Amino acid sequence: MKKLQLKDQMGRTVILDQRPSRVVCLNPSQTETLVDLGVEKLLVGVTKFCVHPSHLRKVKTIVGGTKKVHFDKIRNLNPDIILCNKEENTKEIVETLEKEYPVHVTDVSSLDDALEMLKQYGQLFNCTSRADEICANILSEKNKLEVFIQNTPQKRVAYFIWQDPIMVVGKGTFIDTMLTLNGFKNVFQQDRYPATSLEELKSLSLDMILLSSEPFPFKETHQKKLQEKLGIEVHLVDGEYFSWYGSRLQGAFEYFRSLHGT
């Protein structure tokens, strides 16, 4: 068979002797996406954070987390390819693994990036029809949201991801893209994930704060305290729909419509 060759989202050339049949995936969003693409049988190793679908960690080898992996466990699985992500996995992990295996790295900060990832996986795992179907579903749901919110006044928001110190989402992130698609104005335009304070938040003329369910698991107690201190709307939101950039996007826009409906 002719060697399979493609560029990943970092512009790196990934070369395979044959189409992959043993895959280690080090990112939860991508793991779920592989299952929804119909290639779950190819997965041999996942992380402890790969919680969707729920049965997966019981039947696949857990090779660690996203920042620390057990290289010996990966080696024992003898993978044909390892799937990583620029943000979720460290440069050290990628550089160590690519000495022994083909490593495909995604870099997703926009919806176009997410769709490109799906198409690359469709090519890589010989499931282009299913990848195209998922992409079409995502775009259809996105269009429904745009129509739903077209006459909705724009709200100035902050999206919390951490409690102590308070950390929020800035620009250059996939979550910021999702906020924009919701018609929200993210008041934090610093790069990535800046820290902030209650004093700064009071000065920003915010309409609403969104408390994510991940990575910090914000609860109703946090919501009530912030409402009391800031006197504005504070909502708990499902962080997976804002930050998981794979096939989960098929359900994200319906979830977003429900947020605007409350």
Once rounded to an integer, what is the mean pLDDT over residues 246-260?
96
Local confidence band at 204 (pLDDT 50, 70, 90 cut-offs): very high
pLDDT of 3 above 90? no
Q: Is 157 found in the same domain as 102?
A: no
In the structure, what pLDDT confidence band is assigned to residue 21 with cuts at 50, 70 and 90? very high
Render pLDDT for 127-154 as a digit per residue (tens, 0 to 9). 999 999 999 999 999 999 999 999 999 9
Number of domains observed in the structure of the chain: 2
Dist. CA 252–CA 257, nearest whole Å: 9
**Residue 74 near residue 80, CB atoms below 8 Å:** no
In terms of residue numbers, what domain contains 91? 4-107
Return the pLDDT at 5: 93
Per-residue confidence band for 1, with pLDDT thresholds at 50, 70 and 90: low
d(CA 30, CA 50): 9
pLDDT tens-place string over residues 152-176: 999 999 999 999 999 999 999 999 9
Q: In angstroms, rounded to a whole number, what is the distance separating the alpha carbons of residues 234 and 27?
A: 29
Residue 142 lies in a domain: no
Q: Could you report the per-residue pLDDT of 39-90, keeping only the tens digit for each? A: 999 999 999 999 999 999 999 999 999 999 999 999 999 999 999 999 999 9
CATH of the domain at 229: 3.40.50.1980
Residue 225 domain flag: yes
Neighbours of 50 (CB within 10 A): 26
